[in-house]
Amino acid sequence: MSRAQLTSTVEQNTGGAVAPFVAGKNFLANGGFDIWQRGTSVAIANGNAYGADRWNDYFSVASITTSRQSTNDTTNLPNIQYCSRVQRNSGTTTTGTIWHTQSIESAQSIPLVGKTVTLSFYARAGANFSSSSNALTAAITSGTGTDQNLLNGFTGSATTASSTVTLTTNWQRFTVTGTVSSSATQVGVYFTYSATGTANTNDYYEVTGVQLELGSVATSFSRAGGTLQGELALCQRYYAQTYAGDSITMANYTTANAYGTWRYPVPMRAAPAILFTSASNTTYFSNNSPQTPSALSYGNIAIASMELEITGSFTQGYSGFVRLNNAGVIQASAEL
């Protein structure tokens, strides 16, 4: 098969031979739930937040936890190591609708407009999954806005396809197929169910191998980034952070001010929102003895980098570096 033939087959699959692992076939980032920069267990209370990279969760009335788990099944679910567990915390008595979503930016959504698409995924239920009849709804949705978050509401929201499936405690693969509106400018997917009763120890479902692709037939799961390294870089386009022990080179511009630049691991989707901890969580090393800066601030936020400023008592003209201690983390978010 020529390269041109292979490309054509991947772009609009109708059941013929398709390369099983190819970057760009899957329009959903982190569908194998390998990447969890914010931590492999994230508690979400009374609102929405990101757990696994690119996956936005929502529960309106009480707390849930999303966590990375091993699939532990090479028979029903071969070759996928991790899954996302969406769990209602044990003892929770309030009920409501729980969402697990991914919004695709407009530039990435355009190739799907007016096309037949297929969402495929593997899922299983915990022994105490509290959804009535073990039902889980999976859907593809579209909108006419630009770079919106579906949990906040797509402008001109329309359901491309939706299916309510019945989970068991074993992995099963499910598919949902539909045609994206020709007027759409953005696409997203979601999983949702309504919790009932009091949550027990294993009130959860798990999902993995999530793939949205062109065509009417589900093909073998493939990471959007092609490789694990590619998937990480794709996720870091939306969110990146420093880690405890990281350091940033600084220059003592005056006796009271030092400046440095944090370059994000990859250029981000847009100039990100920055969140960082206080100066007490950093140590500055220059020609002086190590010291805790009196203040820490940032500015000049761009797609590729941001500027960091510290204040203290320095020797002008010397260089040094800021070391981020255990609680000293800088976060950059360009999520939708």
Looking at residue 11, its pLDDT comes to 45
Looking at residue 8, its pLDDT comes to 34
pLDDT at 329 over 90: no
Looking at residue 328, its pLDDT comes to 79
Looking at residue 31, its pLDDT comes to 98
Looking at residue 5, its pLDDT comes to 33
Looking at residue 206, its pLDDT comes to 98
Single-letter amino acid code for the residue at 307: E
Q: pLDDT of 210-259, one tens digit each?
A: 999 999 999 999 999 999 999 999 999 999 999 888 999 999 999 999 99
pTM of the model: 0.92
What domains, with CATH codes, occur in the chain?
3-236 (2.60.120.260), 240-333 (2.60.40)
Q: pLDDT of 47-82, one tens digit each?
A: 889 999 999 999 877 789 999 999 999 888 888 999
pLDDT at 262 over 50: yes
Question: Distance (Å, rounded) from C-alpha 332 to C-alpha 303?
Answer: 10
Q: pLDDT of 12-39, one tens digit each?
A: 455 544 556 788 999 999 999 999 999 9
Looking at residue 91, its pLDDT comes to 93
Q: pLDDT of 81-110, one tens digit each?
A: 999 999 999 999 989 899 999 999 999 999
